[in-house]
Every structure is written in structure tokens, then in C-alpha cells.
Amino acid sequence: MKILALVTDAFGGPGGIAAYNRHFLTALAEQGHEVLVLPRYGEAAALPAGLTQAQARNGRLFYVYSLLRQLLRDRSFDLVWCGHIGMAALAARVAAVVGCPWWLQIHGIDAWTPCDRTRQSAIRSASLVTAVSRYTRRRFLAWAPVPPDRVKVLPNVVEPCYTPGTKSQKLLQRYAARDCKILLTVGRIAKAEAYKGHDRIIRLMPRLLERHTNLVYLIAGDGDGRPELERLAAETGVEEQVRFAGNVAADELVDHYRIADVFVMPSTGEGFGIVYLEAMACGIPAIGLDTDGSIDPLGALSNGRAVPEHLLFETICESLDGAGSRASGAVSGFQPTDLSTDVRRLLRNAAFSCASKP
């Protein structure tokens, strides 16, 4: 099967959506499908066999121009895969021109509320829609003009490198936290993503320090919202206990999870929340709120807790009290092999099937 993938980013891109796209596209390539990826962002250094990624084209007009040039060279695609709802109208037009079905992938907050009529009309023509969580599927179906049986759940998966391990003394020294208990949040600190809830933890820190005097709150990630969080920490009187790690290199991220005693991200806007899975795979308890797609990973594993906001403080304290023991890190159902199995099943059972065009 020859597949054209339209994505915001994949190989070479940061963040949860890029990671999801890499896992999904790799699963297609490993099953023998020929995949051409057209990203808007990110440059890939190495790619799986059977997969080609074109040069990234930032900007809508540049991206469309690059896509048109590709279609002039080759239109022999059997399926168009659209990795973001923001590109749905373009994907639908491309599929119509090529004469093949198309598959839409949806993630989080962008798919929770009605989009414009043009995009809704495009979505109606999708042969299959997959959502990263049951929550996103439910919110999408509340407004989308798509039959429920055409919308399936295809969750995030976690890399095999995320496993329990010893605490890195180098990192503990870097953050001056050798004799401390560590709360960790991993995620962008963007004003547009203030829903992730860093501020909620900073506001709880004075009370948490009454119970755990050696507590440190480590924030891994960066963005234009960091100055506001730094001011909040100062105003709250906990600037010495809140440590900003900045953007963490990929080869150090696993060790950042391992030095933590509890992972917490009280977000209200996660489509799924891959960081919860990564933390739990490293054996530490993970805490989030019960108001978004994070209930899927947190509710599926024994060391996850999805709670109402009024129980957040006590849940963190309970987890810190029991922080001496680590879970096994098993993430059954959320591994790349699970995704590959699900993708094969969907390709076999969906309306477009695996058969190539004559």
C-alpha cells in the first residue's frame, strides 16, 4: 500500500504529537507499506526503511506549493493519512484529487469543539477517524458529522527506553536535590498551554512544604510562560524550592523521570498525555486531574491517579509518603508492538482495506 502522510511534524520534531506520528508511521513502514511523509516542521536525521520524509515546509502557502509539486510528480497513492485536524480540509481535497480514501488522526483540544463548516464538510468524507483517547473521541463525536462506528481509539505508546532505574547523582547535584523529595512536571511552559497546571502546583507548594519540608518542585520544559511562573514562585515564597530545568535533551529525559519521587501534571487540556505514560513506565506514581484525556493512561495503570482538583493536595501527599517504593514500570497495552497490532487491524477492517488501487 502506498500512503501519503500529511503531518505538522514527525521525525525530527519535538512534543507528543510528533512522537505519536513517528510511532504510527513506523508501524506502517514495518508492515511493508510505502510511506511518504510531508511535514510542516522538523528535519529527520534517520528514517525507518520504507519511509521517506520530504523537506519540511513551514507556512501554509509553502506547504501547499510543496504538496502540489509532489502530486504533479506522483499521484499513485492508495491512502492519505492526515495527522492533525487542522489539516483535514487539505487532506480531503488531496484524497479527492488522487481518488483514494483518507484517514484522520485527532489528538486533543483542537478536536473537542466544532470547527468551521469547510473543515466539517471535509471531515464528513473521512473513511476513518482515530482518536488518542476515549475522552477525545467522545468530545469529537459530540459535534462532528461522522458516524460513531467510523471513529476508533488508537492511543499513544511509550518508547522501550522508559524503564525504572537508579537516581542519577549527576542530576541530583545539578538541581541541588540530593536529600530532597522531588515533584516533577514535564511539558511546554507556553502561555497558550497554561491549562497544563504548573501554576496549580506552585500555589500548593507552601502547604506541601508543611508536610514535606525537603520537597523540591522540578519543572522540565520551557516557553513564553516561564517568566510568569517564576514570578508566581517568588510571590508565593517558594522560589528556592521551584527549580526550572529548561528544555531537557532527549538523552537525559529518562533520567529526569527516574530522579523524581512523584510525577504530577494537573492539566485540563490533554488529549492523552504521553508524559504520564513515560513517568509510570519509569516506575514512579503519576497524578493528573480527571477532567481530560489523561484519565485513559492514568486509569489504565496501577501507579496512576486521576483525581478531582479538590483532592489534588492530599493525593500528592499520599504519593510522597509512599515514594520509597517503585512500581514495575509495566505499560501493557501502550507499547509500539501494541500500536502496530492495532494499525494492522484497522487497515484490515476499515472501509478502504489494504488493497491497492488497480
Tens digits of per-residue pLDDT, 34-62? Answer: 999 999 998 877 888 889 999 888 888 99
| Residue 15, pLDDT score | 81
CA 35 to mean position of chain CA atoms:
22
Mention every residue, 6+ apart, whose C-beta is less than 8 A from residue 128. Answer: 101, 103, 104, 150, 152, 346, 350, 351, 352
The residue segments making up the domain with residue 256 are 169-321
**Would you call 167 exposed, middle or buried from its count of C-beta atoms within 10 A (0-12, 13-18, 19+)?**
middle
CB of 209 closer than 8 Å to CB of 241: yes
Please check whether residue 89 lies inside any domain of the structure: yes
Phi, psi at 182, each rounded to 5°: -120, 125
What nine digits make up the cell of 90?
Answer: 487539505
Residue labelled with grid coordinates 519509569: 282
Residue labelled with grid coordinates 507556553: 190
Residue labelled with grid coordinates 494537573: 266
**Would you call 344 exposed, middle or buried from its count of C-beta atoms within 10 A (0-12, 13-18, 19+)?**
middle
**3-class state of residue 132 by DSSP:** coil
Question: CA 17, CA 13: separation in Å to the nearest integer?
Answer: 9
Q: What is the mean pLDDT of residues 334-344?
A: 92
Q: In the predicted model, is pLDDT for residue 355 greater than 60?
A: no
| Residue 352, pLDDT score | 61
Question: Are residues 265 and 221 both part of a single domain?
Answer: yes
pLDDT tens, residue by residue, 292-330: 999 999 998 889 999 999 999 999 999 999 865 666 667
Question: Are residues 259 and 345 both part of a single domain?
Answer: no
Question: Are residues 314 and 207 both part of a single domain?
Answer: yes
Q: What is the mean pLDDT of residues 288-292?
A: 95
Q: In the predicted model, is pLDDT for residue 158 greater than 60?
A: yes
Please check whether residue 298 lies inside any domain of the structure: yes
**β-bridge partners, 219:** 185, 244
Please check whether residue 328 lies inside any domain of the structure: no
Question: Are residues 18 and 123 both part of a single domain?
Answer: yes
Mention every residue, 6+ apart, whose C-beta is less than 8 A from residue 297. Answer: 155, 156, 272, 273, 274, 276, 277, 280, 286, 304, 334
Q: What is the mean pLDDT of residues 9-28?
A: 90
Domain count, the chain: 2
Question: Are residues 133 and 214 both part of a single domain?
Answer: no
| Residue 356, pLDDT score | 41
Please check whether residue 76 lies inside any domain of the structure: yes
pLDDT tens, residue by residue, 200-237: 999 999 999 999 999 999 999 999 999 999 999 999 99
Question: Are residues 202 and 246 both part of a single domain?
Answer: yes
Please check whether residue 44 lies inside any domain of the structure: yes
| Residue 324, pLDDT score | 59
Question: Are residues 8 and 135 both part of a single domain?
Answer: yes
Question: Are residues 211 and 100 both part of a single domain?
Answer: no
Please check whether residue 47 lies inside any domain of the structure: yes
Task: Write down the pTM of the prediction.
Answer: 0.88
Q: Is the dihedral of CA 144, 41, 230, 311 positive or negative?
A: positive
Question: CA 111, CA 161: separation in Å to the nearest integer?
Answer: 30
**Would you call 42 exposed, middle or buried from its count of C-beta atoms within 10 A (0-12, 13-18, 19+)?**
buried
Name the average pLDDT for the chain.
92
Please check whether residue 258 lies inside any domain of the structure: yes
Question: Are residues 152 and 183 both part of a single domain?
Answer: no
Question: Are residues 114 and 176 both part of a single domain?
Answer: no
Euclidean distance between the first and final Cα of the chain, in Å? 11
CB of 28 closer than 8 Å to CB of 35: yes
Question: Are residues 196 and 151 both part of a single domain?
Answer: no
Question: CA 177, CA 267: separation in Å to the nearest integer?
Answer: 25
> Which percentage of the chain shows pLDDT scores above 90?
83
Q: What is the mean pLDDT of residues 80-109?
A: 96
> What DSSP line would sit under 22-71, residue for residue?
HHHHHHHHHTT-EEEEEEEE---S---TTEEEPPP--SHHHHHHHHHHHH
Please check whether residue 355 lies inside any domain of the structure: no
Question: Are residues 133 and 184 both part of a single domain?
Answer: no
The CATH number of residue 59's host domain is: 3.40.50.2000
Query: Residue 350 — very low, low, confident or very high, per pLDDT cuts 50/70/90?
Result: low
